[in-house]
Amino acid sequence: MMVGMKLNNCHRNTGFKKNLNALKQNGSPLPEFETDEPHDYFITRLFIREGFYDYDDTNQDLSEKGPEKGPETKLDEMTVRSEAVLKAIIADRKISRLKLASELNLTEKQVRASIDRLKAEGRIHFEGTGRGGYWVVD
Q: Which domains does the chain have, with CATH numbers?
A: 1-56 (no CATH), 71-137 (1.10.10.10)
What tens digit of pLDDT does each residue of 34-43 get? Answer: 888 888 887 8
What tens digit of pLDDT does each residue of 56-95 get? Answer: 655 555 445 555 555 566 667 888 888 999 999 899 898 8
In angstroms, the CA 24 to CA 46 distance is: 12
What CA–CA distances, in Å, run from 42 to 6, 32, 36, 62? 11, 10, 7, 42
CA diameter of the chain: 63
- Residue 134 pLDDT exceeds 60: yes
- Residue 130 pLDDT exceeds 80: no
How many alpha carbons fall within 13 Å on the CB side of residue 61? 2
Length of the chain: 138
What tens digit of pLDDT does each residue of 102-123 get? Answer: 888 888 998 999 999 989 989 9
In angstroms, the CA 129 to CA 120 distance is: 20
Average pLDDT, the chain: 78
109 within 8 A of 118, measured Cβ to Cβ: no
In angstroms, the CA 97 to CA 107 distance is: 10
